[in-house]
Chain A
Amino acid sequence: SAVISQKPSRDICQRGTSLTIQCQVDSQVTMMFWYRQQPGQSLTLIATANQGSEATYESGFVIDKFPISRPNLTFSTLTVSNMSPEDSSIYLCSVEFGQGTDTQYFGPGTRLTVL
């Protein structure tokens, strides 16, 4: 299976600032996704990162708050904009290899704390 890495692994940020999280895969993938996992809770899908076009956002998430880029088949970024303490979460990227299994494989996550 592929190696999925995220940078940074954790960060502490001030209210009102923005943070960009990177997700890198060591092989080409068809689909990349971004999730949020709030403390003590399960995973919620933020958006699907589409290569060469705008991301597809789930209900409750908007592009102005969570802009996403996917310039190629191995890399994506998620920006958390104008942060507030409610944005403190673990942010996870996942990938699907498009081999007909629909299985998603996850990166290690980025733990974000907003003061």
Chain B
Amino acid sequence: EDQVTQSPEALRLQEGESSSLNCSYTVSGLRGLFWYRQDPGKGPEFLFTLYSAGEEKEKERLKATLTKKESFLHITAPKPEDSATYLCAVFEYREGQNFVFGPGTRLSVLP
């Protein structure tokens, strides 16, 4: 069965303390992996799309990487405003729509 998991479920960091979030997936043919940020009470905000193993994307303090089985979202020197839930989603090659979200990682960055 296709599956997307994320770890840790929740993460508390001190401001400036770098860390990584993990997204693991088991799909038969990955078409794309997406990272979103979601603030409480709001819709997900698009961050990155990754298509092939070895690909990397960066935006401010965030860097996303992709391997054949997982993706990492690296957060360098985070600030309190980076506190949010980070969601990954995979899009699989198969007939019909298959855009599956992981459960998310709740990140809290303390000042």
Distance from A35 Cβ to chain B, minimum over Cβ atoms (Å): 8
- Size bin of chain A's contact surface: 20 to 34
Distance from A10 Cβ to chain B, minimum over Cβ atoms (Å): 9
Choose from B31, B91, B97, B104 the contact partner of A42 (Cβ within 8 Å): B104
- Size bin of chain B's contact surface: 20 to 34
B44 within 8 A of A: yes
Among listed A14-22, A66-74, A81-89, A101-109, interface-contacting one: A101-109
Q: B97 — which chain A residues lie within 8 A by C-beta? A: 33, 45, 48, 56, 58
How far, in angstroms, from A88 to B59 measured CA to CA in the complex? 35
Distance from B98 Cβ to chain A, minimum over Cβ atoms (Å): 9
> What residue in chain A is nearest B96 (Cβ atoms)?
A56
Distance from A27 Cβ to chain B, minimum over Cβ atoms (Å): 16
Tell whether, in the assembled complex, residue A102 and residue B43 are in contact, meaning their CB atoms are under 8 Å apart: no
Distance from B11 Cβ to chain A, minimum over Cβ atoms (Å): 16
Q: Main SS of chain A's interface residues?
A: strand
Q: A42 — which chain B residues lie within 8 A by C-beta? A: 87, 101-104
Choose from B34, B41, B43, B96 the contact partner of A103 (Cβ within 8 Å): B34
The CB with the most chain B CB atoms within 10 A, among A4, A33, A105, is that of A105
Tell whether, in the assembled complex, residue B87 and residue A43 are in contact, meaning their CB atoms are under 8 Å apart: yes
Distance from A7 Cβ to chain B, minimum over Cβ atoms (Å): 14
A positions within 8 Å CB-CB of B: 4, 33, 41-45, 48, 56, 58, 92, 94, 101-109, 111
B positions within 8 Å CB-CB of A: 31-32, 34, 36, 41-46, 49, 87, 89, 91, 96-97, 99-104
| New contact pairs (13) apart from A45-B99, A101-B32, A106-B46, CB-CB < 8 Å | A4-B43, A33-B97, A42-B87, A43-B44, A43-B101, A48-B97, A102-B31, A102-B91, A103-B32, A103-B49, A106-B44, A109-B41, A111-B41
